Amino acid sequence: MPLLPVPAAVPLSYYLILSAVLFALGVAGFLFRRSLITVFMSIELMLNAVNLTFVAFSYQHRQVDGHLFTFFVMVVAAAEAAVGLAIILTVYKNRGTLAVDEIDSLKL
Amino acid sequence: MHHLWLIPFFPLAGFLVNGLFGKRLSKGAVGMVAIGSVVLSFLWALKALFGLAPLETAHVERYFTWIQSGSLVIPYELAVDRLTAIMLMVVTGIGSLIHIYATGYMHEEEGFYRFFAYLNLFMFFMLTLVLANNYLLLFVGWEGVGLCSYLLIGFYFLKHSASTAGNKAFIVNRIGDAGYAVAVFLIFLTFGTLDFPKVMEAAKALPVETSAGILTGICLLLLVGATGKSAQVPLYVWLPDAMEGPTPVSALIHAATMVTAGVYMVTRSAALFLHAPIAMETVAWIGLATAVMAATIGITQYDIKKVYAYSTVSQLGYMFLALGVGAFSAGIWHVVTHAFFKALLFLGAGSVIHALHHEQDMRHMGGLRKKIPITFAVLTCAWLAISGVPFTSGWYSKEAILGAVHHHSPLMYWIGVATAAVTAFYVSRSMFMTFWGEYRGHAHPHESPPVMWLPLAALAVLSLAGGALFNVPHILEPMFPQGHGEHDFMLEVIGSSAGLLGIGLAYVMYVANPGLPASIATSLGGVYRLVYNKYYVDEAYDAAVVRPIVNGSRTGLWQFTDVWLIDGMVNGAGSLARWLGGGLRMLQSGNIRAYAAWVVAGAVIFIIAAGAIAGSQGGLR
Amino acid sequence: MDAILFFLFAAIAVISAINVVVQRHPISSALSLVGVMGSLAVLYLLLGAEFIAAAQMIVYAGAIMVLFVFVIMLLNTGAEKSSRKGRILTVVAMPLLVIFLGLVSYVIQRGFPDSPLVKFGEFTGGGPKDVGMALFTRYLLPFEVTSVLILIAIIGAVVLARKEMD
């Protein structure tokens, strides 16, 4: 007898909703954080949320392809992290700050 | 094949060499190239003509098809007949002499190589004009010589009057060229071809038009073109101003060759004109009006080159008079002799101007007989020739013209004789003011170098003997049979005495009684002022044509169409885009988070829209 | 058992993710992110993705996050300072985000009303062998392209970082 009336298994849509929640939190981090590094981490969070969706659908279709997409996303994330962090270093070197609302030299 | 293309090619090559590399060449080399190319062209023309003699019919050389479009086929064809042969000799022969003279005259000038490049280019276009076998190729030469004329009139382009004179010549010529172009269109519409032989053949088959018809229209439009190029009433106004150019240019282009292009073109189109009597009559009257008007203006001018410029206009009027009465060969004869003595007059005047360090006002000359004797001697030859002293070149051609005119209309004849007297008078006046009396200037006159007076001497011989040497009507007999104008001794006596009367009158007024001209001028008062101010033609054109166009352009085209309408539309579009962009720019805050918020908003809108579409199509799945 | 594991690690993931967003110091955010990634690895395992779960731990939680932490320590920027600039954005974007989440959840619920239950061990096609077979056959070209991508990323990183040296 389980303590709580917990079902033995959860439907796949729960995974998808979890993914949506994580993605929304990633967007929230992107929107509300000022530090460029945290913003960058929020992007990683969003990527992870999407990865979860891929794996979930891969389970539903009983196919390995979703895993491969996830794998490729990881590769891209790794490359992105390397370049992105190098950019962050350069920006910090040149401007002395990582606050995104102060880095606005693209504005007219 | 006689390789006629080489005749215009030599000057073109000279133009390319001098135009491209002239800056790096020495003056001697530039002169050698320029003279050499023209002399080669002259020699080749001679060789070709000897090879082609007796040239009873035209010799045509076809090189390639220039334009082919539907039924319009324009070959690049050069042709030589007796008329062309005469023009070739005049253009290349006198051209060579003037090129030689110019190397001396222009020696101290800036842009020496530029001058000769233009001059050679002019020779190329003039020879193309003369050799062309269809109206379009002739037009190429026609426009080309106009271009060179413009470039050379404005040769001293730093001088404002020179550049405006160049513009004036160019614009006035455009009016005539428009007429010529329309005439060419009409010829193609009527005959379906532009080749001279075919057009003339077809024209001969048409009946003579007693009232205005298509041939009359074509001929009048051709005449418009000729009045522009050959400085006839009403488009003669550019030629006196063209004297702003260097004197060799005045001699070559504005006296001997280019301005006779109109005469040549009308003669070339003789078959058309002969079938349009109304046009012929118009040609005659325009020629006569030009001759009288320009001759009277010539009496009152003090600038030596202006006198000769009006004299040129007047003599061209004579040629048109000859064409108008059907004496084409007499007209061409006058082209030839006029080329001799008018080139000599200009070059002699250039020599005087050169001797006096660019003094052109005759009131500051006088008594130069002893100081520059060679110039005086050669100018005397030209003077006698233009005055029509018996057995000089001018006498022959003028008597031929007057004889034909008398046959056509005695009224025109008497006006022509009077004009001949006036001609003799103003040329004598210029001679007496320049060479007789006391020297009134301050410069120290010096004789010109041999490179200048040797061509003058050659021209002097031609001026005196050219009429007897080249009996043009006889040469042109196969083309223009001399039906009338048998030598009438009485007419010749009248014509000759008119010339001598003019000389005598000038002697009385300017040598025997130097005070007489001034008192006559004051007693004539208004009439004198009218003539002295060239009948106010320039002023009238300015008020009637130039000012309305300038004002209309300024208010109508510039201020209304351009500034208000076009600029308004363009600026309106621009400011609309600016205004919209200014609004949209607010979105570009430069803040990355604002962008992200827009992306989220977009995603929300997208999901709602996708859901709405899916819902309208029966829900998801 | 599966449901308990899911709820447990889903809760850890969401709490860690919230922590990523609310923490002021980047190092706290980074460590919270490691938590998210670890719990996600467990969820991958539940979904039968053995290889991906391992890769998630090694590549993400291991390599990438170490890189993050390294940069954070290198720059040593300290805690974030609050500013007034983002206030209006918060007011506007927060409801927008909630609407977004609600919409996506609604679409998922509507789209998968009777999605299958996830049982551990039901799908076994996610092992290293299966992934490897797919990767080196059907996905060979993309795989090779990623190698080029990584090479470019390395060069890019070197070029960017070299500027710092001089």
Chains that touch C (3 or more CB pairs under 8 A): A, B
Q: What is the DSSP letter of B511?
A: I
Contact B11, B135 (CB under 8 A): no
Q: Give me the mean pLDDT over the B159-178 stretch.
A: 90
pLDDT at C79: 77
Contact B448, B351 (CB under 8 A): yes
Q: Which helix (H) or strand (E) holds B67?
A: strand B59-69
Q: What is the pLDDT of chain B when averaged over all its residues? A: 88
A to C CB pairs, distance under 8 Å: 250
Contact call for B597 and C92, based on CB within 8 A: yes
Query: What are B568-597's pLDDT values in tens digits?
Result: 888 888 899 888 888 877 776 667 777 888
Contact call for B600 and C96, based on CB within 8 A: yes
Q: What is the DSSP letter of B559?
A: I
Q: Which residues of B569-579 are buried (b: 16+ CB within 10 A; e: fewer)?
A: eeeeeeeeeee
Tell me if chain A has a CB within 8 Å of the CB of C3. yes
A78: closest chain C residue by CA: C64
Q: Which of B261, B222, C65 is nearest to A74 (CA)?
A: C65
Q: What is the pLDDT of chain C when averaged over all its residues? A: 86
C-chain residues within 8 Å CB-CB of B620?
107, 110-111
Structure tokens belonging to residue B504: 């005598």
Answer yes or no: is the ipTM higher than 0.90. no
Q: Give me the mean pLDDT over the B426-451 stretch.
A: 85
B595: closest chain C residue by CA: C89
Distance (Å) from the C-alpha of residue A23 to the closest C-alpha of chain C? 9
Distance CA A99, CA A92 (A): 10
Domain ranges for chain A, please list them: 35-96
Structure tokens belonging to residue B406: 């008398």
Q: Give me the mean pLDDT over the C67-77 stretch.
A: 87
pLDDT at B486: 58
Q: Where residue C74 falls among pLDDT bands split at 50, 70, 90?
A: confident
Q: What is the DSSP letter of B242?
A: G
Q: Give me the mean pLDDT over the B91-107 stretch.
A: 91
Tokens 């061409």: give the residue. Answer: B332
Whole-number percent of chain A with pLDDT over 90: 41
Q: Give me the mean pLDDT over the C94-113 stretch.
A: 85
Tell me if chain A has a CB within 8 Å of the CB of C145. no
Helices (H), B552-591: 567-585
Contact call for B589 and A39, based on CB within 8 A: no
pLDDT at B621: 47
pLDDT at C103: 87
B590: closest chain A residue by CA: A107
Contact call for C103 and B607, based on CB within 8 A: yes
A95 or C12: which leads in pLDDT? C12
Query: What are B280-301's pLDDT values in tens digits?
Result: 999 999 999 999 999 999 888 8
Task: Find how far residue B334's CA is from the centre of its chain.
Answer: 17
B-chain residues within 8 Å CB-CB of A100?
591-593
B-chain residues within 8 Å CB-CB of C21?
none
Query: What are B296-339's pLDDT values in tens digits?
Result: 998 888 899 999 999 999 999 999 999 999 889 999 999 999 99
Q: Give me the mean pLDDT over the B455-470 stretch.
A: 89
Q: Which of B415, B410, B392 is nearest to B461 (CA)?
A: B392
Q: Is the model's pLDDT at B204 over the cut of 60?
A: yes
pLDDT at B424: 92
Q: Give me the mean pLDDT over the A43-55 stretch.
A: 93
Distance CA A33, CA A52 (A): 24
CA dihedral C128, C134, C140, C142 (to 10 degrees): -90
Q: Which of B140, A41, B371 is nearest to C22 (CA)?
A: A41
pLDDT at B370: 85
Cis geometry, peptide bond prior to residue A7 (ω within 30 degrees of 0): no
Q: Give me the mean pLDDT over the C137-151 stretch.
A: 92
pLDDT at A2: 52
* Neighbouring C-beta atoms of residue B536, cutoff 10 Å: 12
A-chain residues within 8 Å CB-CB of B597?
31
Tokens 């076009």: give the residue. Answer: B566
Q: Is the model's pLDDT at A108 over the cut of 50?
A: no
pLDDT at B318: 92
Half-sphere exposure of B555 (CA within 13 A, CB side): 5
C-chain residues within 8 Å CB-CB of B593?
86, 89
Query: What are B365-399's pLDDT values in tens digits?
Result: 888 888 888 889 999 999 999 998 888 998 889 98
Distance CA C162, CA C166 (A): 7
C-chain residues within 8 Å CB-CB of A12?
112, 115-118
pLDDT at B447: 82
Q: Give me the mean pLDDT over the B171-187 stretch.
A: 92
Q: Is the model's pLDDT at C13 over the cut of 60?
A: yes
pLDDT at C108: 85
Whole-number percent of chain B with pLDDT over 90: 42
B603: closest chain C residue by CA: C100
Residue B65 has phi, psi (to 5 degrees) of -85, 120
Distance CA C145, CA C52 (A): 20
Q: What is the DSSP letter of B357?
A: T
pLDDT at A49: 94
Tell me if chain C has a CB within 8 Å of the CB of B601. yes
**CB-closest option in B588, B593, B597 to A100:** B593
C2: closest chain A residue by CA: A9
DSSP reduced 3-state for B73: strand
A to B CB pairs, distance under 8 Å: 29
For residue B64, list its beta bridge partners.
B76
Chains that touch B (3 or more CB pairs under 8 A): A, C
Contact A28, C134 (CB under 8 A): no
Q: Which of B170, B347, B377, B384 is nearest to B252 (CA)?
A: B347
* Neighbouring C-beta atoms of residue B300, cutoff 10 Å: 20
Overall fold of domain A35-96:
Helix Hairpins (1.10.287)
Distance CA B304, CA B368 (A): 14
Tell me if chain C has a CB within 8 Å of the CB of A50. no
Q: Is the model's pLDDT at A103 over the cut of 90?
A: no
Q: Give me the mean pLDDT over the B415-419 stretch.
A: 92
